[in-house]
Structures are given as structure tokens and as C-alpha cells.
Structure 1
């Protein structure tokens, strides 16, 4: 192991439950915060740390992610239990936290055989919605998370901050007048928000895990780095923006195609189930879906900047050269009248 990993292993062996040496292995998926699998005897954990910098201020805040998960412990939300937080960057060059590893499968390019029946395909969508409703039902103050965010003007602030982030990013990439046009439309079309809740910020099929056997059951929600207090419908917009249907053009992301198969709920049915289970109306689907595509495009342009700067070794980041323009085109099509559901 490299010297830095030896230091990490020694740190974890002093603090993690269990006996024996600690093994650390980088997880191949995930393109934002970096994930490692940690094993100690029979115990299994997950370590999360920021990527190698530079990156915009306020992003990749693993201490915030830890705080959210610690607050949700015992709330009934399907989130992993955190074990420790290290805010000493000297250990591995950045802060990190460790959580329990949950047994489950994350659905990516292909459906697991055990969950590939029509009934389980339907249940996957239902479970995805129901777990989100559970999160949005948590009282932030009771979870000790009342100060996590500023809900007033949440959507307008999201748009402004992403525009600022985009301006910083394009200095290292290329001009993006298409995304500026999307941002201008969003700023002019912000709807009233419902009562604020805890918001995940990146809620989609790739950030949850299902039990490996039928019937489909969502067992864990991952990647909480963007969690805050704000408009819960932004989570719904993100969920449907990343959910493909058979009539959609081929995804340039390449790994979102499975929900376009038979048996999966449509975007409209996902939204309707959320309304039924939460009691909230999803009245402005175009705005929320465009906002999701804009946020995603800005974030991915940031990953493309890391590639161009030579600070990322993830080959997926190079693909953002073509992914970001496609997302911007999709947002402009929705603004132009394409159906959002």
C-alpha cells in the first residue's frame, strides 16, 4: 500500500469497531465524492472523501454529509449509519467519514436477474417514491438539522449559485451560452414553493440500493453531500429528470436506459404516486425538470473542468465534453414546449 494508505489504515484500526487489520479498496463507481470499501474482519464499511481538487467552494463537503446522516439515524429514513468523521486532512489529504456498508444492489446499466420481473420493475419505482416521501416527512428540527439550510428563496438561490458556479467553471472549459439561456428562463419562472423539508439534492435510481432478492425493497439511500432544507419538489424534479422512458432519445450518459423497459412506472406515474403519498401537488413539472437538468449540466461541466485541468483520473469525466451540451439541449426543448412528464 502507498504511504498515505498505510497512514489511513493505522488511523482506522485505532477507531473502527472490530479486530484485525483494515483493508481499503476504491469503489469503481461514483464520479463526485470518492468512495472506498473498508473491511475489518467480518465488519464492512464505506469511506467517503472529496475528489482531488480544485473544486468550487461549498461542494464535496463530506462533513456536512456526515452531519445529515447522523441526524437521520433513528428517523426511519433508509440511510446508512455513520461510524466516524475525520476532519484532519493530514490523514489522507482531505476530510472523510465512514459509514456502515448496507447489503444491497445499486441498479446501473443492467437489471439484476432477481429483480427483473414485471412486478419488481413496478415496485422499484414505487419504492423509490415511497422512500423519498419518508425523507420529506422528517421534521428537520427533531433530527437536529433545523439549521442545515435556508429555505426562504430556495429555488431562486439554487439558480443564482449554479450560475455563479458555471461562471467559475467555464473559465477552465468552454463558453456555455445554452446553459446561460436556461438559467435566465429559470430565474424568470420560479414558482411558489411548498413548505420546506429536508431535501436530498441528488435523489435518483443510482443513489439508492435494493435488497438483492424479490420483492424489490429499497434498503439504503446514498450520496447525501447536497442535502439541505428547501423545496421538496426539487427532489421530485431530479428523480423524474433522471428517469428514462421508451420514447426518449438515447441517453448520452449511457447508463440510464433500464427504466425505459416494459414494466417500469412512467414519469407521470412517479409524480402521481408522490402526490398521493405526500399530499403535495407537483404543479410545475417543466420548471422542476429544467432546474434538475441545469443543475446536473453545471455539475458535470465541473467534472469536465477537472479532466481538462489534469486533476482527475476518472475517464468518465472526459465524456462530459458531449454530455453537457446534450443536457442543455434537453432543457431548452422542455422550455420550448416538450412534455415534462
Structure 2
């Protein structure tokens, strides 16, 4: 029996419960004899399951199936990040158990506490239907959580060493450009993307390189901060229960987070299909400009919409890279998930939107 936020495990992504039971012996308090698993259907990267051990519930996260880029989907790193972030940022779930032996599931994995709440994806949940203020409240919760994350004292928390903040923006462009070119090369001759002279992807890269700003500050950077990575209180959309998906967290320029969040916030269609499209233009939600203004006020800094354009272009480009990498794995037969079929078109849209922001008015 699955719950409202879980589903049966997708074919080919089942968990070997017997091996899992042995690996967790002595590491969970009880319930291993009745171990069962369901799958959280959202997300396009790591595989996430609801694991029940008797009366206890845990969230299990592991890397996607098939080959993955070196250094990506590092479950041990994510586990240890949460060990350090959870005590200083309560929205980060508490990690419980790390298993690094790849023989158990095919890759390292970890368990964390399960938190319960609403995740807003395709429409406002029924729990908020009678609340006309819900769009504004959840918008403000999103902004305020981002500002609070960036306010964590990385030195007092011993977190500065998880990244290399100096030169962060330049390395972002260099790293994501390399990933884009490698993913594009895997699709060479397939016709899945227009040629560079038509798509302007190399020109987007050149613009990002030529206009790279110095870091505005050095803070925690979540690197995938968006509405459906927040879990909200069903009774109060202004209260955040959890912030999820910490796999790419590092230390760098906080405006890189803001740029990617605004990328999601202003997109009419997000990877794999419709979401609350272009929330920044929808009635009741904060506009792009109001989003930036509230964030700047929370951070106590002057920040104009024009000042974040470079970060938004980078956000569009980064998301294009991520979805193209996933599509390349799908095209190569390394995953069968049908949700991935439209992602080349999504990457193309993102690059064209990045180029529009480079060449047109902000």
C-alpha cells in the first residue's frame, strides 16, 4: 500500500531487500524482519525510496542506475554534509545510516529521517485550496529559506572547507561548459539538438566567460534550490518542514543559488512536463522582481534585477546541462525512464532562453 506521496517501485529500480536487511542489521533499532520499500516518484537524478522497518520510516537515497559522471551522485559526501548542516540549519533532514559498500545496492547509499509535508509540483495541494494567501505565503517561504541558508555562518559551523569559494564563479562556467560539450558530443549526429551556430550554445558560454563577476559573498550554496525541493506544513504554507536534495551543496557565491532559483521560478515548463509554470508570472505568487527585492531585504544588501542577469543566464545554462546529461543516458539505453524522453527539447529551450537573456532586455 503506497501513500499519497509515494508509488510502487519502478520496474528495474527495485531494492534487494534481503541484502539490504543484512547490511542494516544492528544499525537500525528494530523492524528489519518487516522491511518494505516504496518509491518517491519525483526527481530526475538520485533514486529516493521510502523504507519501512516495522513502525519506523526512513528515506533511502542512492545514485541513479548506470554509469554516472565521476564525482557526481556522491552519497557519502551528501551524508556527511547533512551531518554538519543539520545541527545549524533545521530544515536539513537528519542523516541516520551510511552504507558505502556498493555490493549491497550497486552503489553506496544512505538513510535519513523521514519528514512529512506538502511538496508543491504540478498544482497547489488540496490542503491549500481554501487558502487564497497560499501562493504568496509559499513564495515568501521559498525566498526566506534561501536567505536563511545563505546566512549560516560557514566558519562557525566549520563548513568553509566543503568547497573552494575563491574563484567559484569562474570554475562554475568552466565546469558546466565542459559537461555541456561532453553531453553534446555523446549525441553527435543524432539530430536531438540543433547545430551550435543555430542554438548559440557556444555563444552563451563565451558570454558567461567574458562577463564572469567576482563572488558577491562566500556562503553555503545548495545548487538545486527550487520550490519542489521544499516540504511545507500542510496546515501552514508559510512554514518549511524540510529542504531536500543536498547532493550538490558547496560553498560559493550565494547569487548562483538565486539565479538558478529564478530560472525555475520563471520557467513555463520544467524538465519532464508541466509544473506550476512561471510562478513568477502567476496570480498570487511573487513576481521575479518581488522575489529579488525580498531576498535582498532579507540579506540586507542592495540588489537590482539587472544585477542578477548573469546568474540567471548561468542558471539556465546549468539546468540545460543537467537535463542534457540525463537525456544522453536515456538515449544510450542506460535508463528506461520514459520521463526522460523530452529532455533534449527542454535543454534546447533553456539554451535559447539563456541566449534571449544575453541579447534582449532583462
Same fold (TM over 0.5): yes
**Structure 1 position 212 matched with structure 2 position 234:** yes
Choose which of 277, 281, 292 in structure 2 pairs with 1:257. 277
Unpaired runs of at least 5, structure 1: none
Choose which of 14, 30, 38 in structure 2 pairs with 1:18. 30
Choose which of 201, 221, 224 in structure 2 pairs with 1:199. 221
Secondary structure class of the residue paired with 1:330: helix
Choose which of 97, 100, 109 in structure 2 pairs with 1:87. 100
Secondary structure class of the residue paired with 1:220: strand
1:194 and 1:231 in contact (8 A); partners too: yes
The 1:191–1:15 alpha-carbon spacing in structure 2 relative to 1, beyond 3 Å, is same
Q: Report the Cα distance in structure 1 between the residues aligned to 2:183 and 2:18, rounded to whole angstroms.
A: 34
1:9 and 1:24 in contact (8 A); partners too: no
Unpaired runs of at least 5, structure 2: 1-8
Matches within 5 A, 1:1-341: 4-20=16-32, 21-116=34-129, 117-174=131-188, 177=196, 178-244=200-266, 253-257=273-277, 259=279, 260-283=281-304, 284-339=307-362
Q: Report the Cα distance in structure 2 between the residues aligned to 1:223 and 1:251, rounded to whole angstroms.
A: 17
The 1:76–1:163 alpha-carbon spacing in structure 2 relative to 1, beyond 3 Å, is closer
**Deviating more after overlay: 53-62 vs 118-127:** 53-62
TM-score when normalising by structure 2: 0.87
Deviation at 1:239, TM superposition (A): 1.1
Q: Report the Cα distance in structure 1 between the residues aligned to 2:338 and 2:26, rounded to whole angstroms.
A: 35
Q: Report the Cα distance in structure 1 between the residues aligned to 2:259 and 2:237, rounded to whole angstroms.
A: 26
Which residue number corresponds to residue 4 of structure 2?
none
Aligned length: 336
Q: Report the Cα distance in structure 1 between the residues aligned to 2:15 and 2:323, rounded to whole angstroms.
A: 32
The 1:16–1:282 alpha-carbon spacing in structure 2 relative to 1, beyond 3 Å, is farther
Post-superposition Cα deviations, 1:84-138, rounded to whole Å, max 9, x if no partner, equal 1111111111011110111111100111122243312111011111111111111
The 1:46–1:249 alpha-carbon spacing in structure 2 relative to 1, beyond 3 Å, is closer
Q: Report the Cα distance in structure 1 between the residues aligned to 2:113 and 2:15, rounded to whole angstroms.
A: 25
Secondary structure class of the residue paired with 1:285: helix
Deviation at 1:232, TM superposition (A): 0.4
